[in-house]
Structure 1
Amino acid sequence: MNAQEPNWDTAMGMDRLPTHIIDKSVPELLDLTGRKAVVTGAGGDGLGQATAHRLAGCGADVALVGRTLEKVERRAAEVEKKWGVQAVPIRADLSDWDEVHRAVRESKDALGGLDIMVNNPVMSFAGAFEQHTKAEIDTTVLGSLTMVMYGAHAALEHMVAQGHGRIINISAVGGRVQQKGLTTYCACKAGVIGFTRNLAHEFAPRGINVLGVAPGIMIKPDMRRYVTAPRDDRERAARTSIATSLERYVQLGRVGLPEEVANMVAYLASEAADYMCGQTIDVAGGIWMG
């Protein structure tokens, strides 16, 4: 080799190729046994609890973080009973910087490590932008963007030191398309997509991969109730808006389950997604705005 030439194996990263995966099956690549995961916003009936179940179903031990201790305790007990992994309930106000950092530290200590951080906070207001109050705008920005940053920052405190980890930020397909009545929320979710891309660019060289998932219209128990039996004009308007969106813009023509979105989170957390970086994947039934 010419002394002036670089080592091409090293220059092209061929010395770091994960050749050990070649003979593995896909189920083996999806196995998260021994991994330690934190999921925020995990006490309710939506994506947080579904993600905790999916990660646990792949073998990961999980800390479920939420605002109400009784809710995350109940969800953690369900996860532990169903999947036979360790599931730890952690109470935290995700809008509070110090509480988020404390919750991630407690999660790591309780689980014995931190490999996967899923940022899934949500607080938002819908409606015509000109009718929003300052408090509603501030709450939506905090709940839809800032709290994602808080969670990522808290995870990086530990992942940087250990030189590895995976952060998965929950955005929304609204971050890519225009939706009436959701201007502030959609702008924030576009911010999550940009934050994910830039955070990955900054930390991938340090062994930390950052990815995102953008859900579409997910059906939860409360939503199912007002879709089938709305109690007032607001709920009837919401039902009409959802039905119109499905008919016009969602190619599969139906709402989705949180578990369908959680499937993608589990995939991105696994070895199967090791060559993905900075991307946000839509799980939205093929939504488009023509």
Structure 2
Amino acid sequence: MSRGTDWESRLGFDRVPSHIIDKRVTEVMSLAGRKAIITGAGGDGLGQAVANRLAGLGADVALIGRTYAKVERRADEVRQRWGVRAVPILADLSVWDQVHRAVDESQAALGGLDIMINNPVYALAGTFADFTQEMIDDTVHGSLTMLMYGAHAALEHMIPQASGKIINISAAAGRTAPPGLVVYAAAKSGVIGFTRNLAAEVADLGIHVLGCAPGIMVKPDLLERILNPKSAMDRAARQSVMESLAHDVRLKRVSIPEEVANIVAFLASDAASYMCGQTIDASGGQYMN
């Protein structure tokens, strides 16, 4: 090996994506031919929005959720709208074996796995002193542990192929101190740390790990709870949202899932090729204190 070639290797030039140089950003963001898994994709929130964004960029997608009728409906919508392969997969994301089985099934159905979107959906609001052990355990498991299960299952496929992207959904609450969300915020802070540490562990294996931290993202069921609270937990959620909008969110409004999904789609694409371990905020400036 010549000295020049040796220096190129030491600088990593043999791994630089030079193929993107003459492309438009829109071309670099194409996901045509990629295979993506999205968890928590059966409802009206971020999961379905991400599935639509990735499919709109050309990716085939597997939608994983615990209610088959819901993920089946969402998969049908994605397939009809974007003309890609969209596969519904049933799994309880809180169960290790089911998560691994679902990822295996998704990979087999799609014919590969390039992108794993870890989007567990669980949050309880209220004063920490009023939480029971069950509430604490459920919140940590639903907001952090289930996400780790998904990442572990994805790595079983990505490590042998020496490639892949894992994108973990955290929350701006993991960087702030929103009222009524002590346990949830602590768990989402854990997601940010998990993303950073896992990225450091697997970067040399050709796997990119990144995160996105939504702020006050309102989907239909949360909007109904805020507008018409029926329980103490609903009232706590409304108080947390209104206090954050009044004091913390610089844009002074809530977001919709599609705005956050835009960031996730960017992270999933080659446009984010030189990012590693970061969790990108999508919260209207919520933690700029």
Range into which the TM-score falls when normalised by the shorter chain: over 0.9
What is the CA RMSD across the aligned residues, in angstroms? 1.8
CA contact (8 A) 1:250 1:288 kept: yes
Equivalent in the alignment of 2:11: 12
Equivalent in the alignment of 1:288: 287
| Structure 1 position 181, deviation (Å) | 1.4
Q: Matched residues in 2 for 1:59 and 1:20: separation?
A: 19
Q: Matched residues in 1 for 2:122 and 2:234: separation?
A: 18
SS of the residue 1:186 aligns to: helix
Post-superposition Cα deviations, 1:143-196, rounded to whole Å, max 9, x if no partner, equal 010001000000000000111000000000111111221111111111100100
Equivalent in the alignment of 2:21: 22
* Alpha-carbon spacing, 1:149–1:109, altered in 2? closer, same or farther (3 Å): same
- More displaced stretch, 50-59 vs 123-132: 123-132
Q: Matched residues in 2 for 1:97 and 1:232: separation?
A: 32
**Counterpart amino acid of residue 278 in structure 1:** G
Correspondence 1:71-220 to 2 at 5 A: 71-220=70-219
CA contact (8 A) 2:37 2:64 kept: yes
2:27 corresponds to 1:31? no
SS of the residue 2:213 aligns to: strand
CA contact (8 A) 1:114 1:158 kept: yes
**Counterpart amino acid of residue 201 in structure 1:** A
Runs of at least 5 residues in structure 2 that lack an aligned partner in the other structure: none
Equivalent in the alignment of 2:43: 44
SS of the residue 2:280 aligns to: strand
- More displaced stretch, 27-36 vs 280-289: 280-289
SS of the residue 1:7 aligns to: helix
Q: Matched residues in 2 for 1:56 and 1:2: separation?
A: 44
Q: Matched residues in 1 for 2:273 and 2:70: separation?
A: 33
Q: Matched residues in 2 for 1:229 and 1:138: separation?
A: 28
- More displaced stretch, 223-232 vs 50-59: 223-232
- More displaced stretch, 95-104 vs 181-190: 181-190
| Structure 1 position 245, deviation (Å) | 1.1
**How many equivalent pairs are there?**
289
SS of the residue 2:208 aligns to: strand
Q: Matched residues in 1 for 2:7 and 2:157: separation?
A: 33
**TM-score, structure 2 as length reference:** 0.96
Q: Matched residues in 1 for 2:233 and 2:91: separation?
A: 31
* Alpha-carbon spacing, 1:87–1:25, altered in 2? closer, same or farther (3 Å): same
Q: Matched residues in 2 for 1:234 and 1:125: separation?
A: 7
Q: Matched residues in 1 for 2:102 and 2:230: separation?
A: 38
Runs of at least 5 residues in structure 1 that lack an aligned partner in the other structure: none
Equivalent in the alignment of 1:250: 249
Structure 1 moving runs of 4+ over 6 Å: none
Equivalent in the alignment of 1:227: 226
* Alpha-carbon spacing, 1:60–1:283, altered in 2? closer, same or farther (3 Å): same
CA contact (8 A) 1:79 1:85 kept: yes
Q: Matched residues in 1 for 2:239 and 2:124: separation?
A: 18
Post-superposition Cα deviations, 1:23-54, rounded to whole Å, max 9, x if no partner, equal 00011011001100000000011000100010
**Counterpart amino acid of residue 77 in structure 1:** D
CA contact (8 A) 1:177 1:289 kept: no
Q: Matched residues in 2 for 1:231 and 1:136: separation?
A: 19
| Structure 1 position 20, deviation (Å) | 1.2
**Counterpart amino acid of residue 7 in structure 1:** D
Q: Matched residues in 2 for 1:240 and 1:141: separation?
A: 22
CA contact (8 A) 2:126 2:237 kept: no
| Structure 1 position 197, deviation (Å) | 0.5
Q: Matched residues in 1 for 2:153 and 2:134: separation?
A: 25
Q: Matched residues in 1 for 2:136 and 2:265: separation?
A: 32
Q: Matched residues in 1 for 2:230 and 2:126: separation?
A: 18
| Structure 1 position 12, deviation (Å) | 1.1
SS of the residue 1:39 aligns to: strand
Equivalent in the alignment of 1:269: 268
Q: Matched residues in 1 for 2:87 and 2:2: separation?
A: 57
